[in-house]
Amino acid sequence: MIKTDILIIGAGPTGLFAVFEAGLLKLKCHLIDALPQAGGQCSELYPKKPIYDIPGFPEVLAGDLVDNLMEQIKPFQPGFTLGERAETIEKLEDGTFVVTTSKGTQHNAPVVAIAGGLGSFEPRKPQLENLAKFEDKGVTYMIKDPEIYRNKRVVIAGGGDSALDWSIFLADVAAEVTLVHRRNEFRGALDSVEKVQHLKDTGKIRLITPAEVIGLQGADALESVIIRKTTNAAEDIMLETDHFIPLFGLSPKLGPIADWGLEIEKNAIKVNNALDYQTNIPGVYAIGDVNTYPGKLKLILCGFHEATLMCQSAYQRIFPDKKYVMKYTTVGGVTGFDGSKKEAPKAVVKAIE
C-alpha cells in the first residue's frame, strides 16, 4: 500500500502545483491520474496551444507549462500512479483514507485532494455510420502534435474556439485546411472569427457553411469525406482528405468519484470556499475545475490559489498541535526533500577599515 501525506487525484496543473505548496510545508504528495502522463488536459488535449493568463507568462504553451510545473516540484519527489482511475474511497478507524484504483492499487493518506479537472471526459462524436472504422486511421478528436498534419489535407468540423483556433494554427502547417460548420455564425472569440474570415479571403483555408460532414470514405484509412450543404441537400461535396477532426467539445463526467458520498451540483463537487475548499467529507478537498462554489471561475490560476489554501488546511489537519508560521520563499528559500536548497544570496557584511 502506498502511504503519503496528501493523496492528490488528478495530475493536471492544479494537482501539480499543490505538490509544490505541500512541499513548502514538508508534506509529501502522491498523485493518481487515469491518463498515462502528468499534465491533465494541457498534455492530453492541447499541449501546443498557447495560454495567456498565467501570471508572469505573457504567453506559454500548455505543454511547456506542465514541463515547468514538473521541474518546479521535482525537489519534492512526488509519487505517481498513472494510467489508473481512482475507483473507491474508504475511511479507516484512524481517520485516514484508503483510495483504490481501477487496477487495484491502494493508497493511504490522512488527506485526499480531488483535482480532477472536468473529471473523466469523452469527445462528443458526430453520428456517422462508419466513424469507428476510421478512428486513428484519419479520424481523431483532439490534436496533440500539430506536426502530424504537416503538408497534409485536413478537414475540421465545429464552430467553437477549438475548431477556430486549430484552423488558424494549421493554416501554416497543413497543405490544405477546410473548416466545416453547420451554421454561418460561430460561437468562438470574435478575434478568432475575424482571423478565420481573413484566412478564407486570402485563400489559406476553405470555409464551408452552413454544412455538415455526412459520410466518410476509404479502404484501410480515411480517403475522403462527404459534405452536405444544409441550404441545398442536392449539392453534396466529395472532398479528398488525409484527416478529419470533429471538434464538438467534451462530455465531462465525474466517474466513480460521483459515488463517494460527496455533495454534487451540476457535475461538480461543492466545497467550502469561505475557508479551505473542503468537501462535505472532512479531510477530502476538491480544487480546480472539479469544484463549484458561488463565484467559481474555471481558470488555472484560480486552481493554483485553491491548492495553496487547501495545503494550509491540510497541514493543520495532519498536525493539529503545531502552529505553522508562513515564511515567504524570498526569505526562507525552497528546501527540497532531495536535499536541494534554493535561496537568495546572503548579503556580505564587511567592516569599513
Tens of pLDDT, residue by residue over 99-114, are: 999 899 999 999 999 9
Contact 82, 35 (CB under 8 A): yes
Cα separation of 207 and 311, whole Å? Answer: 49
Cell numbers describing residue 28? 509529501
Of 158, 159, 163, 156, residue with least CA distance to 178: 156
pLDDT at 305: 96
Furthest-apart CA pair in the chain: how many Å? 97
DSSP 95: S
Contact 156, 167 (CB under 8 A): yes
Cα separation of 252 and 288, whole Å? Answer: 14
Q: Which residue has the higher pLDDT, 330 or 11?
A: 11
Binning pLDDT at 50, 70 and 90, where does residue 338 land? confident
Q: Which amino acid is located at 67 in the chain? A: D
* DSSP for 146-199, written as a single string: GGGGTT-EEEEE-SSHHHHHHHHHHTTTSSEEEEE-SSSS--S-HHHHHHHHHH
Contact 53, 301 (CB under 8 A): yes
Statement: residue 182 has pLDDT above 70: yes
Query: Cα 256 to chain center, whole Å?
Result: 19
Bridge partner list, 126? none
Bridge partner list, 3? 108
Contact 65, 236 (CB under 8 A): no
All residues at 6 or more sequence positions from 210 whose CB lies less than 8 Å from its CB, including other chains: 181, 182, 183, 184, 229, 230, 231
Mean pLDDT over the full length of the chain: 90
Q: What is the pLDDT of residues 18-47, one digit of tens each?
A: 999 999 999 999 999 988 889 988 877 677
Lowest average pLDDT, out of 124-133, 176-185, 227-236, 263-272, goes to 227-236
Cα separation of 153 and 138, whole Å? Answer: 10
Cβ neighbours, 10 Å, residue 184: 11
Q: Which residue has the higher pLDDT, 122 or 21?
A: 21
**Span 134-151, average pLDDT:** 90
Statement: residue 249 has pLDDT above 80: no
Cell numbers describing residue 133? 472504422
